[in-house]
Structure 1
Amino acid sequence: MLDIDGIRLLQTSPGFAEAVERAYGRRRRPRCLCRPEGIEMYIARLADGHIVKRMPGTGDRHAPACTSFEPPAELSGVRPLLGSAIREDPETGLIQLKLGFPMSRRPGRPGPARPASATGTVSSSCNRLSLRALLHYLWDQAELTRWQPGFAGRRSWGVVRRQLMRAASRMVTCGEPLLVRLEVPEPFTVEQQDAISARRRTRWVAASCPGDGKGSMLLLVAEVKEIAPGRHGYKAVIKHLPDLAFTLDEALYNRLERRFEQELGLWGASDGSHLIVIATFGVGAEGLPRVVELSLMTVTEHWLPVETVAEKQLLDRLVRNRRSFTKLLRYGMRHEGEMPILVLTDQGETTQPVFAEEVDHPCSDPAGTARGA
C-alpha cells in the first residue's frame, strides 16, 4: 500500500499509474505504508511510464514482506561500492555506474583477452565495478535474487530478460544509458527468427559506431548453452541465439576453464542449473561477435545464484518448503570475508540471515522446515 499525494493505493488499484504520473509532475514523494509511520519513496521516469522506488539506503527499513524490502547492504558485497562505483540519484531516478573494464578499443589495439579475476577485478579502493560485480548488481536490481512461493513456475527466460532490461533502463555509464550497449537475447521462436535477427543487427550496428575513432564494445548478459572448441578456435554458444556463436581466442578459453572451474562444475552437475555469462565483445566487419573479457555465474532452475553444491541444496530445500528469502551476493568480495548466504524474509517483522556454517552443521536446520507451508 502506498500513500500517493494523500491517496492510499495498491499497485493493482484502478488509477494507480495516473496517480503516480501526477505525483511525479508535482514532485511529490509517495510513502510506503508497510510500516505505521510510512517510509518515503521516490518516482523514477522510465521509457514505458513511471515506477515507484525505495529511497537509497532505506531498503532494510521496510517490512520483510514488502516488495521494497532489501537486506542491509552490510550483509552482502555491495556495501563498499555504494556511493563510489554505484550512485543512485533520487531526483532523476538514474543510477550512475563506474566500470572497472573498458567498453571501447582504439583501432589496432586489441583489448584484454582474460576472464575476470577471482576478486572480480574490483579495484582495492572499490570505486569501480568488475564484470562480476555488475552482473550481481543487475541481478539484485532485477529482483532475481528474491524468492517467494508465488514465483514458482513463473520465471522463464522471457521474465528474466524483461526484469534485467527494466533494471538496466535506469542505469548510466560512460556518459550514456547502459541499455545502449547491453545485449540480453530475446526469447527465440522459429516464427520470429528473421525479425529477432534484424533487431539484433540494428542494435549492434548502432552501438558499434560511436563516431569517435574508437572500436566500441557491447555488453552481453545471457545463458550459455556450450563453451567448446569450434572449427577455427573456440566458441561460446548462447541460448536464444541459434544463428551465430561468440568466438573466443585460445588464451581466454584456457584461462576461463581454470578460473571458473567451480561454476562450470556446478553447472554440469545439475541438469536444472543455468550458466549465465556477462562479457564484453566486439563485432567484426563480417558481423561476427568476438569476446574480449567475461565472467560466469551459476544459477538454479529458478535463476537464483549459487556458488556451491551446499548452497544449491539449501535453496532447493527452501523452495520446496515454500519459504521466502533473498539470496545475498558477493560482488567480488573474497571468500575469506564471511557473509550470510541469504536472508529469510517470512519470519514476520524480523529477518534471519543464514550462514554457510549453519548449512554444513549436521544438527542445524536453516531451511526451517518446521515453519514451512
Structure 2
Amino acid sequence: MDTSDQGITSPSAVYEISGRRFEIGARGFAEAIADAHAAHQRPRCLCLAEGVEMYVARLGEGYIVKRMPDTGSRHAPDCPSYEPPAEVSGLGQLLGSAITEDPATGETTLKLDFPLTKMPGRSQMPPAGGESGSVASDGSRLSLRGLLHYLWDQAELTRWHPGFAGKRTWATVRRHLLQAAEQKFARGQSLQSRLYIPEFFSVEQRDAISARRLSHWVRAIQTPGKVQQLMLMICEVKEIVPARYGFKAVVKHLPDQAFAIDERLYWRLTRHFEPELALWGASDATRMVMISTFRLNTVGAPAIVEMSLLPVTAHWLPVENAFDQQLIDTMVGESRSFVRCLRYGLSQSQVVATAVLFDTGSRACPLYVSTPGDDGQIAAFVEARCPDAWLWQTCGSDMPPLPGRASRSAAATAPVAA
C-alpha cells in the first residue's frame, strides 16, 4: 500500500496523470486514476524531477496508485511511496520468489511454507530465533512470521511520521492490515477470506460483532472425515494463561472468546519465544502481536495450530530487543520520520538495519545497532558496505546523536493543478 494513516498529517504525494498534476484526494483525483486504470496508463510520482512510474490498482470499490515492484528506493526519501532498499531488511530474498506482484492486475501471489489445512496430528510451532524450520526460510516461501512482517510492512505500520502520534489506534491498525491483505492470494485463494483480525470491541455492538465473527469463522469448523480448513488471525495478545484444560490465549478486543493452546504447544511457545516474551514482560508499554493459524472443533471452539509472536511499541512499531526499542523510542520522541526494517525469514546472525531515517535530505540514512552478541559483525558490515550509515555499538557506549534533519525536497512540495 502507499497510503498513510487516514486523517493524519504526513507528506502528500503529487502525481502526473495524463499531463495534469494531482495530490491524493484533490478534486478530480479519483476520476483521473479510474480513467488511468481503464486506459492502462502509468501515473508518475513527482517526488523527483524526472518522476517515477507508478500503476493504478483496484482497491475495494475504488482505485489506488501504487509503486511499481522493486521501485520503492527510487523515490525521494520523504515521499510516501519511498521504501528502503530491499537489502537493508529481509524482504530482498523474498521478492520475485515467495512474493510475486503483477502490476497488470494489481494482484500479489504469496507462497507460504505453513499449511492452511490440517489433518489429525500435532500442533506446529515455528522457532523464534530464525535458525531452522519455517522462520529461517530459503527465500522461496513465506514463514508465518514472514507473512506477518510482510503485512505489517504493506500496511505501513513500520513507517512513522510525527503526525501519527496519538492517532494509531487498534481500529487504524486493523483497517490498514485488512487493506494490505486485499488482492493478496495464497494457494489460489484470497488471503483476506482466511484472515481474521478482531474488531475494536464495543459493548453496545457485542452481538453484531459476535455474529460477524462466527460468520467469518464457519469455514474452519471441523467436519468428521474431511480435511479441516484453517483460519489466519492477527491480534494483540492480552495474556497466555492456564485454562481448565491445557492453556489459553486471551486476545484483546475479544473478551468473550479465548483460544485453546494444548500443553505441548504451550511449552514449545515458552522455549522458542523466550526473548519475545521477556521483552513483553519487561514493560507495560510493550504490546505483543500474534499471528496464528487456528481451527474450530465440532462445537465451534477455536484452538491455535501454529503461531508466531511480534513485540511492538505503544505505537505498534516492531522491536527485537531493548537496544532497538531505545532507538525507536528516541526517534519517536524527537519527532523523526523513519521506517522500521524487519527480518522476514533472516536469522539473527544475518545483518539487518534497525531502521532507515527518511527526513535526512536527498539520501535516506540506514541505522544499525551492534549488540554484544553479534561479535562485531554489524560494525564490520557497515564499515565495508555502508560507511555513511549511522552505527551504535552498544557495548559500553551510549547511543550517539541521530543524524540531523533536512527540509523536505522542493520536488515534494511542487505546486498542484487540480
| Fold equivalence (TM over 0.5) | yes
d(CA) in 1 for partners of 2:365 and 2:19?
34
* 1:91-147 Cα shifts (integer Å, max 9, x gaps): 1111100100000023xx225332445326146532111001000000000000000
Distance 1:49 1:371, change over 3 A: closer
* 1:162-215 Cα shifts (integer Å, max 9, x gaps): 000000012101111101100011100101110000000001114558999420
2:326 partner letter: Q
- Residues matched between the structures, number: 370
Aligned to 2:387: none
User: Do the aligned residues in 2 keep the contact of 1:87 with 1:95 (CA within 8 Å)?
Assistant: yes
d(CA) in 1 for partners of 2:137 and 2:197?
30
Q: 1:152 aligns with which of 161, 165, 170?
A: 165
Aligned to 1:274: 287
User: Do the aligned residues in 2 keep the contact of 1:310 with 1:360 (CA within 8 Å)?
Assistant: no
- 1:138 matches 2:151: yes
Distance 1:124 1:143, change over 3 A: closer
TM-score, scaled to structure 1:
0.95
d(CA) in 1 for partners of 2:272 and 2:158?
24
Aligned to 1:164: 177
Q: Secondary structure at the match of 1:346?
A: coil
More displaced stretch, 11-20 vs 287-296: 11-20
Equivalences for residues 289-308 of structure 1 within 5 A: 289-308=302-321
- 1:38 matches 2:51: yes
Distance 1:86 1:236, change over 3 A: same
What 5-or-longer segments of structure 1 have no aligned partner? none
Q: Secondary structure at the match of 1:51?
A: strand
More displaced stretch, 354-363 vs 331-340: 354-363
Residue 367 of structure 1: how far off its partner (Å): 2.9
More displaced stretch, 336-345 vs 220-229: 336-345
d(CA) in 1 for partners of 2:353 and 2:23?
32
More displaced stretch, 198-207 vs 297-306: 198-207
TM-score, scaled to structure 2:
0.85
1:140 partner letter: D
Aligned to 1:118: 129
User: Do the aligned residues in 2 keep the contact of 1:354 with 1:366 (CA within 8 Å)?
Assistant: no
Residue 66 of structure 1: how far off its partner (Å): 0.4
User: Do the aligned residues in 2 keep the contact of 1:310 with 1:359 (CA within 8 Å)?
Assistant: no
Q: Which runs of 4+ in 1 moved over 4 A?
A: 207-212, 370-373
CA-atom RMSD in angstroms: 1.9
Q: 1:324 aligns with which of 337, 354, 375?
A: 337
1:301 partner letter: A
Aligned to 1:359: 392
User: Do the aligned residues in 1 keep the contact of 2:237 with 2:249 (CA within 8 Å)?
Assistant: yes
- 1:236 matches 2:249: yes
Aligned to 1:341: 354
User: Do the aligned residues in 2 keep the contact of 1:223 with 1:274 (CA within 8 Å)?
Assistant: yes
Residue 258 of structure 1: how far off its partner (Å): 1.1
d(CA) in 2 for partners of 1:52 and 1:207?
34
Equivalences for residues 78-97 of structure 1 within 5 A: 78-97=91-110
User: Do the aligned residues in 2 keep the contact of 1:54 with 1:68 (CA within 8 Å)?
Assistant: yes
1:161 partner letter: R
Q: 1:26 aligns with which of 35, 39, 47?
A: 39
| Structure with greater contact order relative to length (CA < 8 Å, sep ≥ 6) | 2
Q: 2:233 aligns with which of 207, 215, 220?
A: 220
What 5-or-longer segments of structure 2 have no aligned partner? 1-13, 371-390, 408-418
d(CA) in 2 for partners of 1:115 and 1:92?
33
Distance 1:226 1:78, change over 3 A: same
d(CA) in 2 for partners of 1:169 and 1:61?
25
- 1:250 matches 2:263: yes
User: Do the aligned residues in 1 keep the contact of 2:55 with 2:65 (CA within 8 Å)?
Assistant: yes
